[in-house]
Structure formats: C-alpha cells, structure tokens
Amino acid sequence: MRKYAGKILILLFVVVNIVLWLSFLPPDNGRRDFTIKIVSEVLASSAIILMACILFLATKARVLEPLFGGLDRMYQAHRQTAVVALIVVYAHTLTIPVLADGSVGTTLGGIALTGLIALAVWALLPRIIRAFTTYGQGLVAKIPPSYHLWAKIPARYHLWRWFHRLIGLFFLVGIAHLLLVDSLIRRSPVVFGYVIAVSAAAILVYGYKELCYSVAQKKAAYIVQDIRKLSSSALEVTLAPQQTKLSFRPGQFLFVYFDDERFPKEPHPFTISSAPHDNHLRLAVKACGDFTHAMYAHLRAGARAFVDGGYGMFDYRSGGKQQIWIAGGIGITPFLSWMRSFRGTLEYDIDFFYNVRVPEDYLYVEEIQQIAAQYANFRPHLSCTKQDGYLTLDNIMASGKALAECDIYFCGPLPMRETFQNQLRQKGLSTSRLHFEEFNFR
C-alpha cells in the first residue's frame, strides 16, 4: 500500500480541486452554456493540478521516493500522470463553448496544448515503435527505410532530456491562458486561490530545478581510477572519491556524468555494484547505447566524474527469509552490491540464478563462487541460454524452493521479466512477490 501513497496523493490534489468547485460554485451568469462551461473549467483546472504534480515529480526529490516505492516508480508515475493530464486537457478542449475567438488567451491555450502533445509524442514514440516491431513484425518490412532513421531520433537520451525540460514552459503558457481568458474560475476565489497556489509552487520548483539546481546541488566529485574491460561489450569503472564518499544502500543506483569533452554534460543512471563500506565506487556497464558505447571506447583513468545518489528502494532486506534472486546479463549489478555487503551471519536463505546469453557474457563468476563458499545458505545457479536454453520457473522450482513462500528479486531484460510474470500467473501464483526496478526513465 505504501508504494501507492504517491499516486493517491496526486489523486487527492485533483479531488480537492473538484470538491472546491462543487462547494464554491461561481454565481450563474444566466448564459445557456453555464453548466458546460463549469465542466470545461473543472477539467482545465484538474489538468493544471496534474501538470503541477508532474513538475514536482521531475525534481527527483528524495523525500518523495518512499511515497512511490523508489525513484524508478516516481518516474513511472510522472509518465502516467502526464498521459492522464493530456487526456483531461483534450476533454477540456472538447467542452469549450467557444473553441476559438482569436484572443491572446485562446491562442496561448492552443500553443500549450500543441506543445504538450508534441512532447508526449516525442517521449512515447520509442515505446510505440518498440511495441509495433514486437507485435507487428509483418508490417515492419513495409515501412520506408527513411522512417527507421527518424525513429531513432527520439531514442537519443540527450535530445529527449533537453526537450523534456520544455514541459515547464508550456505549463507557464497554460497558466497564462487561464489568466487571460474570460473564465469562471476567477469568480470563485477559493478555487482560483487553490489552483494558483499549487501552480505557483510548481513554477518555483521548476525554476529552481532549471536555474539553480545544478549550482546548488552538491554532487560528489570522483576520479576515474581504473577501467577494466570485462568482455567485448562490458566494462567495470572504478571511481575514487576526491573528498566525501557517496552515501548509498546496497542495490541503489546513481546518476553520473564525466568532465570530458567526448561525453555530453548530462547525468546517466547506473546501478552501483560495490558495497557501501568500500572506499571506491564500482560500476559494471554494458555498452548498449550511445553513452555506454562512448564509455567503453573512450573513458580513461584520470577523468573527473560527478555523481548524484543513491536512489532506489530495491532492497532484499525488506523481504522474507526465503528468497530467490534472478539476474539476466548485466542485471547482475545490484546483486553484486548485495553480495559484497554480506557481513557476519547471513539471515536469509537465497538461491541466486544468473542467466546469460552466451558463456562470454558471464561476469564475476569466480567472486560469486568465493562468496558462496563462505555462506552455506547462499547458492548460485549459473545458466547460459545458448547451452542450457531459456531460464524458466520450472528450472527454478527444481532447486527445491516453494515459490509461494519466497520473495523473488529480479533484474534483467524486460522480455525476460515479462516471461517470469506470465509463468507466475500460469501457475496461479501472485506476481506481487516478484520485486524489480523500472530501470527506464522515459
């Protein structure tokens, strides 16, 4: 229930808006379209409240993390709230008695709507393309090659991040629209005061984040001490603190950017694979995007790095005594941090399943085996898809664990996770025991 507290809070902001409208209706002006105008403005003010919540969530404020169950789910709520806000805005446009009167206020409303829709399409296009290529493979061949080139543009993280910052500007345009049109909300001081107060708070947060955050925030300064190529596509980056060590919990992630002209000055998220008591940070990275490919090819010892964290609430210590850990490929990183944090007696009974595509993808196998030799109740199970086939729940159940009594922690590719979720449902088991992070901030 706790992880839904944030979404419930967002809903309460909207409910308060509606209740205030019902409690403090503006006086009837005698126009025939009075009722429909009330409905239209309730929708508009609700959309403004939702957009304000979006700006609050974009701050990455740690105080909000527990309300959503982690930063990953904060971003998920951010995305879902944005979709709902756009639907509400569109419903508002359908109920406007006079759609276009040529006034400045109406024009600004059109600009805000167009801008928000464009940003939403930009953000969702990679997901639409991914779904289309997954479920409509027969049609992909009919798409012109030029489209495939343009489809890659929204996937560029730095472009998405830059355009995403414009959401605050379009929010400001929407507020200007509210103030300039002949609206009923201004005849209801309580409702107007509530909407303006929430909007003003969101604008202050947005302004601080865009203008002052990078200066005021204290990012931990590190130096790249060592680069170790683990395979043909994976590397380990060791960071040494220049002054204060980053504080984090096992399994958390951080945002890092490198003070190197070959890298964009933008933070990227990576799971920390070292333990909190270690003097250095260790990041295991697989080259699978522009930034990580650049890291694999160009990052060198001596480069300055700035980190922000730790974030996330992926923590096996919040689960029961009987546990199953499942890592797919580079998804081993949070489990490495957990294993390296073992101290004294291990209070949990853990079967760790580590699956890779080909044998060359195995990482840290010797270290895992050394840890297993120290803890009898930690049992690793290694499998390779090319040699052993896909890892399934049946394979896991063969270890002797009763799945219904276990907390299952997963980190790996999305299709692999969805497969396990489907297999749990097929066996009549609840998917609520499968814990994972939504490691996708788009």
pLDDT digits (tens, 9 = 90+) for 329-385: 999 999 999 999 998 889 999 999 999 999 999 999 999 999 999 999 999 999 999
Q: 273: Cβ–Cβ under 8 A, 6 or more apart, which residues?
A: 236, 282, 283, 284, 333, 334, 336, 337, 340
Is 421 found in the same domain as 340? yes
User: Is 254's pLDDT higher than 60?
Assistant: yes
* Long-range Cβ pairs for the range 243-247 (8 Å, 24+): 244/220, 245/220, 245/279, 246/220, 246/222, 246/281, 246/307, 246/309, 246/310, 247/276, 247/310
For the stretch 409-430, pLDDT in tens is: 999 998 899 999 999 999 898 8
Q: What is the pLDDT of residue 377?
A: 94
In a domain, 228, yes or no: yes
One domain for residues 84 and 209: yes
pLDDT at 210: 72
Q: Do 237 and 335 belong to one domain?
A: no
- Mean of per-residue pLDDT scores for the chain: 85
CATH of the domain at 421: 3.40.50.80
Q: Are residues 121 and 245 in the same domain?
A: no
CA–CA gap between residue 272 and residue 439 (Å, rounded): 13
Q: Which two tokens stand for residue 36?
A: 């429909």
Which of the listed residues 311, 327, 357 is the one where a domain comes to its end?
311
The CATH number of whichever domain residue 256 belongs to comes to 2.40.30.10
231 and 257 in a single domain? The answer is yes
Calpha distance 88→62 (Å, rounded): 29
The CATH number of residue 154's host domain is 1.20.120
442 belongs to a structural domain: no
Does any domain span residue 42?
yes
**Joined tokens for residue 352:** 């760790």
Same domain, 235 and 210: no
Given 311, 337, 360, the domain boundary residue is: 311
Containing 63, the helix (H) or strand (E) segment is: none
413 and 369 assigned to the same domain = yes
Report the half-sphere exposure of 307 (CA within 13 A, side-chain side): 33
Tell me: the pLDDT tens digits for 275-306? 999 999 999 999 888 888 889 998 999 999 99
DSSP, res 127 = H
Domain that holds residue 246: 220-311
Torsion angles phi and psi, residue 223, rounded to 5 = -120, 135
pLDDT greater at residue 338 or residue 128: 338
pTM of the model: 0.80
Number of folded domains in the chain?
3
- Domain limit, last residue, from 311, 338, 361: 311
Residues 22 and 114 in one domain: yes
Q: For residue 59, how far is the Cα from the chain centroid?
A: 12
Per-residue pLDDT tens digits for 166-176: 788 888 888 88
Flag whether 306 is in a domain. Answer: yes
Distance, in Å, from the CA atom of 437 to the CA atom of 413, rounded to the nearest integer, reads 11
pLDDT greater than 60 at residue 100: no
Percentage of the residues of the chain whose pLDDT score is greater than 90: 49
